């Protein structure tokens, strides 16, 4: 456990972003006694859960002059986690059964997540800290403080000084596009999942979807409802993979990765199969991108590793006044934001003390060396996978808060297994009622719900 200090100080903190990460960070900072200004370009809270039919002006998002739309949510999206394990620990994401405008399913639609984040912001009066339609354009360290330059929607520019900056700007807006040999002369259309909204435009087409993780698995099935054929190219699959997947339209296949895209419109997969495709949909993830940060070389993005960061949060040379919430890839995102932000708030107040700069650098170097030994590429530095829980509980202990509940961890694991084995039905059929019951009993015990657990479990 980290050492603590008795004198608690209050800092003036800028939070960039009012998505799930920024909202809970603002709450935790204020709880700890700091004064907070949250900046967000959008008109309302919720970040990427603010669905918009609009998308970037360049469907592949490669053009640096394109108009950018922040959200990457598509119309049919439902959560990939059961709601009870997705919500913040002291504000459970439970169904509002008697409100017909709400979606009470266990894996609700994106609209319900936005409504939940709006409820959270209202409950904790977070909006009063947010400057909407205000984009942060430059953040730089100046004489031990932080200069933050912003501009609002009518072009009014402001320059303010803060003691600390917490970056909660999200990392699902700057697409990573797959490199495909031969693609320059391939004549078809291409789009990244960031710009995918509805299947309509793919009506009667032959579509190749690259990537078979959460978005790829969902989007390929969404498009299969209207397309002639959908072929998934999966890098994670063996080179001879060729399998028909069960969908009502009988038109979905999974292959190994693409070998070559030809000028005649054909796509050759590594399994030797060839299809003539109209469109390629890249479900190939995103890049970390902080265009507003001017840290004079202290921070670097190297093959999608944001370096050097102590426990994915603090930059040793500028700690603790610059921090990042939400970088690690793991299933329980909201809880991760909550635990990381409690740590940041406690370190900024001086209640919890970080190791020395040298010790933090040693820890980082050791972490990178471990990844090298395990053969894990740099681009996966922030993907915590199986060690997610250990990571969260380590931080929780540092800042003296409760570890992640056992039922939550098990729900995530069981849900993930169902997602992999039955991607088409895992949101509507499950075998972990026992864990769900445990979750609702836990909420009741902690007085986080006013109704008896059976009210939720039987409805």
- Please, which residues bridge with residue 229 across strands? 206
| Among 14, 26, 29, 48, contact with ligand FAD (rule: CB under 6 A) | 48
Q: Which stretch binds ligand FAD (CB under 6 A): 44-52, 201-209, 293-301, 383-391?
A: 44-52
What radius of gyration, in Å, describes the C-alpha atoms of the chain? 23
- Shortest distance (Å) from residue 382 CB to ligand FAD: 12
Closest to ligand FAD by CB, 400 or 422: 422
Cα separation, 456 vs 444, in Å, equals 11
Q: Output the CA–CA distances (angstroms, integers) from residue 406 to 315, 410, 412, in the order listed.
A: 31, 6, 10
Decide if residue 47 touches ligand FAD (CB under 6 A).
Answer: yes
Q: Which stretch binds ligand FAD (CB under 6 A): 53-61, 73-81, 204-212, 377-385?
A: 73-81
Q: Which stretch binds ligand FAD (CB under 6 A): 70-78, 156-164, 235-243, 383-391?
A: 70-78
Kindly write out the interface string for residues 6-25 of this chain, putting x where it contacts ligand FAD by CB under 6 A and - elsewhere: ----------xxxxxxx---
Number of residues located near ligand FAD, criterion CB under 6 A: 32
Edge to edge, what strands does the sheet with 134-142 contain?
Answer: 134-142, 145-152, 157-162
Give the three-class secondary structure for 339: helix
- Shortest distance (Å) from residue 430 CB to ligand FAD: 15
Cα separation, 254 vs 64, in Å, equals 33
- Shortest distance (Å) from residue 385 CB to ligand FAD: 15
CB within 8 A of 287, min separation 6: which ones? 171, 174, 175, 176, 301, 304
Q: Which stretch binds ligand FAD (CB under 6 A): 168-176, 398-406, 412-420, 442-450?
A: 168-176
CB within 8 A of 220, min separation 6: which ones? 207, 209, 212, 230, 232, 252, 281, 283
Decide if residue 212 touches ligand FAD (CB under 6 A).
Answer: no
- Shortest distance (Å) from residue 250 CB to ligand FAD: 26
Q: For residue 322, give both structure tokens.
A: 């610059």
Cα separation, 187 vs 152, in Å, equals 41
| Among 146, 202, 292, 440, contact with ligand FAD (rule: CB under 6 A) | 292
**Residues within the interface to ligand FAD (CB under 6 A):** 16-22, 39-42, 47-49, 70, 72-73, 79-81, 86, 135-136, 168-170, 172, 215, 292, 326, 333-334
């Amino acid at each position: 456990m980290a050492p603590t200090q008795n004198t608690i100080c209050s800092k003036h903190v800028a939070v960039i972003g009012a998505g799930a990460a920024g909202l809970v960070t603002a709450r935790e900072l204020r709880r700890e006694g700091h004064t907070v200004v949250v900046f967000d370009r959008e008109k309302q809270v919720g970040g990427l859960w603010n669905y918009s039919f609009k998308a970037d002006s360049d469907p592949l998002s490669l053009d640096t002059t394109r108009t950018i739309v922040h959200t990457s949510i598509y119309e049919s999206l439902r959560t990939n986690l059961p709601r009870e394990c997705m919500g913040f620990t002291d504000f459970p994401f439970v169904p509002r059964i008697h409100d017909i405008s709400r979606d009470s399913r266990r894996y609700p639609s994106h609209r319900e997540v936005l409504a939940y984040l709006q409820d959270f912001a209202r409950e904790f009066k977070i909006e009063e800290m947010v400057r909407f339609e205000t984009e942060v354009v430059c953040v730089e360290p100046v004489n031990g403080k932080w200069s933050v330059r912003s501009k609002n929607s009518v072009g009014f520019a402001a320059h303010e000084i803060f003691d600390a900056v917490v970056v909660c700007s999200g990392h699902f807006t700057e697409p990573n596009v797959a490199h495909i040999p031969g693609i320059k002369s391939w004549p078809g259309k291409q789009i990244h999942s960031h710009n995918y909204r509805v299947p309509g435009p793919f009506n009667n087409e032959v579509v190749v979807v690259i990537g078979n993780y959460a978005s790829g698995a969902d989007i390929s099935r969404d498009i299969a409802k209207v397309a002639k054929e959908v072929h998934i190219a999966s890098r994670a699959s063996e080179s001879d993979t060729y399998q028909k997947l069960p969908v009502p339209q009988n038109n979905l296949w999974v292959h190994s990765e693409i070998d070559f895209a030809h000028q005649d419109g054909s796509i050759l997969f590594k399994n030797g199969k060839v299809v003539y495709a109209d469109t390629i949909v890249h479900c190939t993830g995103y890049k970390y991108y902080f265009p507003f940060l001017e840290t004079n070389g202290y921070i670097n993005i190297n093959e999608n590793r944001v370096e050097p960061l102590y426990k994915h949060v603090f930059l040793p040379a500028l700690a603790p006044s610059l921090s990042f919430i939400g970088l690690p890839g793991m299933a329980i995102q909201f809880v991760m934001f909550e635990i990381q932000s409690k740590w940041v708030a406690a370190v900024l107040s001086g209640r919890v003390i970080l190791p020395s700069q040298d010790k933090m650098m040693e820890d980082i170097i050791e972490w990178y060396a471990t990844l090298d030994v395990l053969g894990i590429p740099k681009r996966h530095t922030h993907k915590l996978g199986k060690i997610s829980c250990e990571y969260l509980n380590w931080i929780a202990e540092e800042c003296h808060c409760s570890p992640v509940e056992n039922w939550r961890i098990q729900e995530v694991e069981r849900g993930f297994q169902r997602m992999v084995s039955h991607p088409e039905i895992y949101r509507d059929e499950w075998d972990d009622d026992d864990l769900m019951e445990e979750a609702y009993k836990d909420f009741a015990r902690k007085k986080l719900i006013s109704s008896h657990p059976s009210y939720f479990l039987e409805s």
